Amino acid sequence: MMTVLTSWWRANLPADPAGRRFVAGSLVDNLGSGVRDVILPLFLVQIAGLPVAEVGTGLLVSGLIGLLGAPFAGRAADRAGAKTALTLGCTLNAVVSCLLISIHSLAAMCLLLAVSRVATQFSRVGRLTILAHVAGERRNTLRAQINIFNNVGVAVGMGVSATALTLGTRSAYLAGFLLDAVTFLIAVAIQLPIRVDAIAGPAVTPPRAPAPWRHLFTDHRYAVATALNGLLCLHQAILFLGIPLWIAATHLVPRPVTAVLFLLNLTLVIALQVRFSAPVRGLAPAARSWRRSATGVAGACALMVAATRVDSTAVRVALVVGAGALLTLGELCYSAAETEISTVLAPAEHRGLYQGVFVLGRDAAQTAGPLVAALFCVSLHAWGWGLLLAGFALFAVLAPAAVRHPEPVSV
């Protein structure tokens, strides 16, 4: 057992100091996020006394505001520097976490959560921009290693949140929010010393180069890649919302199967993410990884169609678990392609702005995810799963050609 753990540790921990700082900072950051994401909705209802409908409205409004903040965060990373964007985002989020305990109205909730969403865009785009410059050709491997420890951090944070939920007191929730605030500050303190001399200050634009926003709006290839990546990102809504909602609505398989799916996903991602991501370097391998991702998601939808047709509970459980495994494999391939496509297609001098727009596409898909999951996975029954199957199969056939050839030249 120790040999297996040692081998896993060596394979997934970066060898260079900068990579280790990235991993350590992201681990700490996601530990705090795991705590806050679990306790915040319950705090808003049980302690702040907000109706469930108002909580849902506030989360939607703040999410939309954060969605629109991504491109501006990217532009700020280009002009002021990625480290500045990272520091600003983490600091603002720490302040918001300290103030969450004071929420007593919908307006206060919307204000604080909107600031938090925008701050998260700043820190996320700052990290992505630093990663693109520091890791070079190893960016995909390092991103995979970071994702692994992100999952570990979230899992630990969710475990820690159980203490606050068990106590259920205002002081317990306050302790959880303060822990989240501290993790933001620790994370940025760990990652700031990473050397990124090439992007330490504002990017210098050649005198005759088009304005960054104008160049972005005329870069149709990047816009198409952003939209397609957002569509493929819907696989997460299918796994984490669609199948659980289907299980709850149809009663065709036992509800504990949902927990099995989540555990299977976490285990496979931790075990296999680096193995899937490391070989993907350049647009052609990324396009193939996109195709494999869409094929896996389409296969999962096919299994769900079959699960609605069979009579045996045991067979249905096997089909649903198989669908969860295929969706996770789709996630692994998707993550392997996403970093390469978003980085290689972006001009180096405007990378922050481009990363912000790419994040916008993914976040838009995540915002639409609950609606897609409810409509296609539950309301339309087997027909919904069939439509998803057809859509992702079409994606697998057509989408990779949009990014495969040729690789762009920076402006």
Q: How far is CA 86 from CA 4, 76, 139, 208, 227, in A?
A: 35, 10, 18, 30, 25
- Are 335 and 144 spatial neighbours (Cβ–Cβ below 8 Å)? yes
Handedness of CA 233, 239, 243, 244 (dihedral sign): negative
16-193 with 214-404: one CATH topology? yes
Q: Give tens-digit pLDDT for 190-244.
A: 999 988 754 434 444 444 445 555 556 667 888 889 999 999 999 999 999 899 9
Burial 89-120 (b: 16+ CB within 10 A, else e): bbbbbbebbebbbebeebebbbbbbbbbbbbb
State which CATH number among 3.90.1150.10, 3.40.605.10, 2.60.120.650, 1.20.1250.20 fits the domain covering 214-404: 1.20.1250.20
Nearest residue to 187 (alpha-carbon basis) of 87, 95, 120: 87
- 241: DSSP letter: I
Instruction: Name the fold adopted by 16-193.
Output: Growth Hormone; Chain: A; (1.20.1250)
How many C-beta neighbours within 10 Å does residue 49 have? 11
Q: Give tens-digit pLDDT for 107-117.
A: 999 999 999 99
* Dist. CA 107–CA 87, nearest whole Å: 27
Q: How far is CA 261 from CA 14, 236, 357, 362, in A?
A: 29, 12, 31, 23
Q: Give tens-digit pLDDT for 360-370.
A: 888 888 888 88
pTM: 0.81
pLDDT band at 81 (very low <50, low <70, confident <90, very high): confident
Amino acid code (one letter) for 61? V
Q: Tell me whether residue 366 is exposed, middle or buried, using C-beta atoms within 10 angstroms of its C-beta: 0 to 12, 13 to 18, 19 or more.
A: middle
Predicted confidence at residue 207, as pLDDT, reads 44
Does residue 372 sit in helix, strand or coil? helix
Q: How far is CA 402 from CA 246, 393, 396, in A?
A: 33, 16, 11
The arithmetic mean of pLDDT across residues 39-68, rounded, is 87
Nearest residue to 23 (alpha-carbon basis) of 137, 168, 118, 138: 138
Handedness of CA 129, 132, 133, 139 (dihedral sign): positive
Amino acid code (one letter) for 257? V
Predicted confidence at residue 143, as pLDDT, reads 83
The arithmetic mean of pLDDT across residues 124-138, rounded, is 81
Compute φ and ψ for 204, nearest 5 degrees.
-95, 120
Tokens 């909705």 sit at which residue? 41
* Dist. CA 152–CA 96, nearest whole Å: 24
The arithmetic mean of pLDDT across residues 325-341, rounded, is 94
Rg (CA), the chain: 21
Predicted confidence at residue 344, as pLDDT, reads 87
- What are the residue boundaries of the structural domains of the chain, listed by start? 16-193, 214-404
